[in-house]
């Protein structure tokens, strides 16, 4: 068979990733409502389809059929650009996620860096969305989201540097390839540094904060800020923010499972593949939801203090200890 | 397939199309940055322009530099500017209407001079062959270069950053008591 032109591969991956981001968001909305329901001793959505699984499809159709309204005093261009930008960054970070041994859109050498580079642009989307709405709640929420993201990016990147030092590569497929079975997962302290479990906890907490998830969802504190930076958004503008947020949640959890839990590798060494990646990632997402519906929201100062006074010193300690251990052993 | 779309079906053609996309992004971003009505839009134009520059870095064979450009300029510097503008003036600062009659002419002259200088520099330098630079942007080489050839400048830059951090801490601290 002749090799198909490159453009078909590109188009197939773009379409596939967009479809996955959409389906993932629909599934996660349903899962979130089910998890929340069961944690609060309710049963969650149940009317649309079996177990209510088509509920988010119905929600999606509702969102898409709504009129797109730009508030009179809002900045019309920035107001429209912001949701699209969130969605663009969410789709672009999927490019380097290895779902399976061969199932990755672009297997580049610095994939890990690409994820952080593009995810950092997402903050700009929240910022211009909040500012473009010309609403005081949106602006306050956007400033909160930014200070939070900047604060948690520091310990997160330090942890990632630690991991890169141990693994010796920024290629995500290579990182997964080194974790052949359960004992070789980088979450365990015998695989390079004694503080690896701490690194995992820091990474996970930071990814919660980076994706603005509870208990760090100060940008969306309903009691003070209505709905945060997307207060003025309705219809698909709001829908895109939602798709983007769930896309980033998935990428955060997928990255945690790639770095620490062996990605698409099987814990027992048989049948590695996409299903293991999915199982691990969705289990981590379940933990994220579990945390959201269990812990109350923190305060802004508590959140920033946690980052600068706890996370940063601990991640620096992890980095130093790891460097020392790599040098000695 | 029509001749118009035929470049899309080869890898090189596709790369060319993407390259021109980045060039357009740079020009468009620069135009938005200089002509925007308010400051926030101008910063967004700047971000667009910087993303285009990152794309050009990628085409020059240094993906590491491209991603760093994205992470630092689009992801950090632009956000810092927008943040500062938002804190200082929530509704944005409108463009000043009065300007000096000779301002446009002077700006054009300065820009022309700068363009001429850069062009002269670019054409007179003998650039290394593209083949010699393959993989020169790889992560290992960048790291090795920073720790050997460019160690002094690397350390000096970190010293400057340290001074900036301590300076901002001192300034922030003074308002508190």
Interface test with A, best of B67, B69, B135 (most A CBs within 10 A): B67
Which residues of chain A are within 8 Å of residue B35 when distances are taken between CB atoms? none
Closest CA to A163 of A126, A132, A204: A204
Q: What is the mean pLDDT of residues B137-150?
A: 79
pLDDT digits (tens, 9 = 90+) for B34-47: 887 777 888 888 88
Task: Give the pLDDT confidence of A117-132 residue by residue, as tens digits.
Answer: 888 888 888 888 888 7
Check CB contact under 8 Å for B68 and A146.
no
Q: Which residues of A283-321 are buried (b: 16+ CB within 10 A; e: fewer)?
A: ebbeebbebbeeeebbebeebbebbeeebbebbeebbeb
- Average pLDDT rounded to a whole number, residues A256-283: 82
Specify the pLDDT at position B134. Answer: 52
Q: What are phi and psi of B33, to 5 degrees?
A: -65, -35
Query: DSSP label at A50?
Result: G
Residue A46 backbone dihedrals phi, psi, to 5 degrees: -145, -5
Q: Would you tell me the crossing angle of helices A274-292 and A6-39 to the nearest 10 degrees?
A: 40
Comparing A49-53, A241-245, A277-281, the range with the smallest average pLDDT is A49-53
- Supply the DSSP string of B46-94, one letter for each residue: HHHHHHHHHHHHHHTT-HHHHHHHIIIIIIIIHHHHHHHHHHH-TT-PB
Tokens representing B149 are 């050839």
Position A9 scores a pLDDT of: 78
In 10 A of CB A154, how many CB atoms?
16
pTM over 0.80: yes
**Which of A74-83, A178-187, B41-50 is predicted with the least confidence, judged by mean pLDDT?**
A178-187
| pLDDT band with cut points at 50, 70 and 90 for residue A3 | low
Cα of B38 to nearest chain A Cα, Å: 10
Across residues A198-216, what is the average pLDDT? 85
- The span from the CA of B87 to the CA of B50, in Å, is 23
Question: What ipTM was assigned to the predicted interfaces of this complex?
Answer: 0.77
How far does the CA of residue A155 sit from the closest CA of chain B (Å)?
15
Residue A179 near residue A190 (C-beta atoms within 8 A): no
Average pLDDT over residues A166-192: 79
Q: What angle do CA A84, A281, A114 make, to 5 degrees?
A: 50
Residue ranges of chain B whose CB lies within 8 Å of a chain A CB:
8-11, 14, 38, 40-41, 44, 47, 63-64, 67-68, 70-71, 74-76, 78-79, 82-83, 86-87, 90-92, 138-139
In terms of Cβ atoms closer than 10 Å to its own Cβ (0-12, 13-18, 19+), residue A193 is: buried
Predicted confidence (pLDDT) at residue A1 exceeds the cutoff of 50 = no
Q: How far is A124 from chain B (nearest CA, A)?
A: 6
pLDDT at B96: 59
Q: Where are the domains of chain A?
A: 69-328
């Amino acid at each position: 068979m002749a090799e198909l032109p490159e453009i078909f591969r590109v188009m197939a991956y773009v379409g596939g990733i967009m479809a996955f981001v959409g389906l993932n968001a629909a599934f996660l909305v349903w899962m979130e409502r089910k998890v929340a329901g069961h944690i609060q001793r309710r049963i969650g959505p149940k009317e649309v389809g079996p177990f209510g699984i088509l509920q988010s499809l119905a929600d999606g159709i509702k969102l898409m059929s709504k009129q797109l309204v730009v508030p009179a005093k809002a900045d019309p261009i920035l107001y429209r650009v912001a949701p699209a930008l969130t969605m663009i960054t969410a789709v672009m970070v999927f490019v380097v996620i290895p779902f399976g041994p061969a199932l990755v859109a672009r297997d580049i050498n610095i994939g890990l860096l690409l994820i952080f580079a593009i995810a950092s642009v997402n903050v700009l989307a929240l910022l211009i969305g909040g500012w473009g709405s010309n609403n005081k709640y949106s602006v306050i929420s956007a400033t909160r989201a930014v200070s939070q993201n900047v604060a948690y990016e520091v310990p997160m990147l330090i942890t990632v540097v630690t991991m890169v030092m141990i693994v010796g590569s920024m290629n995500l497929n290579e990182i997964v390839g080194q974790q052949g079975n359960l004992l070789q997962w980088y979450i365990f302290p015998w695989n390079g540094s004694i503080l690896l479990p701490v690194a995992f906890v820091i990474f996970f907490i930071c990814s919660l904060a980076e994706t603005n998830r509870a208990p760090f969802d100060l940008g969306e504190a309903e009691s003070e800020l209505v709905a945060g930076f997307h207060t003025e958004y309705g219809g698909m503008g709001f829908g895109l923010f939602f798709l983007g947020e769930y896309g980033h949640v998935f990428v955060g959890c997928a990255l945690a499972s790639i770095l620490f839990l062996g990605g698409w590798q099987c814990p027992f060494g048989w049948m590695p593949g996409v299903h293991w990646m999915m199982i691990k990632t969705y289990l981590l997402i379940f933990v994220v939801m579990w945390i959201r519906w269990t812990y109350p929201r923190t305060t802004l100062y508590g959140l920033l203090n946690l980052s600068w006074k706890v996370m940063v010193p601990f991640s620096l300690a992890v980095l130093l200890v790891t460097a020392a251990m790599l040098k000695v052993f | 397939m029509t001749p118009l779309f035929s470049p899309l079906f080869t890898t090189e053609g596709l790369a060319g199309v993407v390259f021109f996309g980045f060039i357009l992004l740079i020009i468009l971003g620069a135009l938005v940055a200089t002509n925007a009505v308010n400051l926030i839009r101008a910063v967004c134009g700047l971000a667009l322009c910087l993303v285009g520059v990152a794309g050009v870095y990628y085409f020059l064979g240094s993906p590491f530099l491209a991603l760093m450009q994205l992470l630092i300029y689009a992801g950090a510097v632009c956000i810092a500017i927008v943040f500062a503008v938002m804190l200082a003036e929530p509704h944005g600062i409108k463009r000043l209407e009065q300007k000096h009659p000779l301002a446009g002419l002077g700006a054009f002259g300065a820009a022309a001079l700068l363009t001429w200088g850069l062009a002269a520099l670019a054409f007179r330098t003998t650039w290394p062959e593209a083949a010699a630079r393959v993989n020169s942007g790889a992560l290992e080489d960048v790291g090795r270069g920073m720790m050997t050839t460019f160690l002094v400048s690397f350390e000096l830059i970190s010293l400057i950053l340290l001074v900036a951090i301590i300076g901002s801490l001192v300034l922030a601290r003074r308002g508190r008591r």
